[in-house]
Amino acid sequence: MKKLMLVTDLGFLGYWVATALGLISVGADEFLQQWNWSFLGLDAAAIGLGLVGLALGRRSASSMLLIVVSLSLTSAAGLMALNFYVIRGEYSLMWWIPNLWLFAFPVVALVGIIRASASAEIVGVPHKSF
């Protein structure tokens, strides 16, 4: 899961760099451009917290908290984008596939973290998974 999270965060970062350089665009519609850029703060927080949490690893007690918050923010960003596309009635796979990933991967990862934590608590083992 850590490798998938790292690839996701780096891909997410790459998307924003490519967008800032004009290599990727949501189109000419000014509303869509503003909507897209409105995600920058949320996405930057998710990326930053995730990368820091992964870098700290087991050396820091707060790394798991950073990872959980990052995964939650990433999933929220993906879900918000999907909701927007549903409201607009737009079903382009170019936008749906990455946003489905941003929504679903963190949910699966969070379920895994919760299960591992619950299992560790049952047997009395300190939780260090993910």
Pull the structure tokens for residue 93.
């796979």
Indicate left, alpha or beta for 125 from its phi (over 0: left) and psi (-120 to 50: alpha). Answer: beta
Helices (H), the chain: 2-20, 30-37, 40-56, 63-88, 93-123
**Segment 38-68, tens digit of pLDDT:** 999 999 999 999 999 999 998 888 999 999 9
pLDDT at position 124 over 70: no
pLDDT at 63: 94
Contacts of 35 (CB under 8 A, 6+ apart): 26, 84
**Range from 23-27, 45-49, 56-60, 124-128 carrying the lowest mean pLDDT:** 124-128
Q: How far apart are CA 77 and CA 99, in angstroms?
A: 8
pLDDT for 58 = 82
63-121 pLDDT per residue, tens? 999 999 999 999 999 999 999 999 999 999 999 999 999 999 999 999 999 998 887 66
**Residue 37's pLDDT band (cuts 50, 70, 90):** very high
